[in-house]
Each structure stands twice: as C-alpha cells, then as structure tokens.
A = this chain, B = another copy of it.
Amino acid sequence: MPRRRKGRKRVDIVKMENESNLQVTFSKHRAGLFKKASELCTLCGAEIAIVVFSPGKANKVYSFSHPSVELLVDRFLGRDLPPPNNEGRHNHLLMNH
C-alpha cells in the first residue's frame, strides 16, 4: 500500500529486448494507435485501413478499418475501377518505413 507511485518514464524508441514487457507494451501501443486512427476518421472524415501483426511467436493479426481493409487497399493498389472522384489517385505519396 505504498503511496509513492513512480509515474511514467521516458523510453527510447529502440527494439525492446524480448522482455515480458514487450507483449503488454505492444498491446498498449496498438490500442493507442487504433484510438488515434478512430479519431482521425471521426474528426476529419478520413478513410483508414490498418493491419498489424503482433511480434514474436504469437503473431496474431489485428485490424482497424473504415470502411474496410479490402476496399481501401484495393483502391490503394489500383485494383479498383475508376472512382467517381478520379483525381489525385495516381500520385501515391508513399511513406514506407
């Protein structure tokens, strides 16, 4: 029952060495990422698809999308028919990691 809480600590953005913390850190960050995505959809009316594979042995897959991953990615990859608004579709601004 100690009252002294430690509070948040700064963390460098480098690969965590497989600690037991990694899974909980992954879950918390994933939740935060999906929340941000949801806010961007609601606030601005953006359309977003996210697919995440968890690290390590579990290797589970999680997704967030509005409207759907398949629709948005097919549109992104140019597999779709020309949409009503056909502008700006051929200058994909890639920001790959």
Contacts and interface: CB of A to CB of B under 8 A. Distances in A.
A53 to B, nearest CB: 4
5 contacts: A22-B45, A30-B40, A48-B97, A49-B73, A60-B91
Interface residues of A, number: 64
A39 B50 contact: no
Interface of A: 11, 13-16, 22, 25-26, 29-30, 32-34, 36-70, 72-73, 75-77, 85, 87-89, 91-97
A34 B37 CA distance: 10
A75 B96 contact: no
B44 A22 contact: yes
Given A48-B50, A51-B73, A59-B87, A43 B29 contact: yes
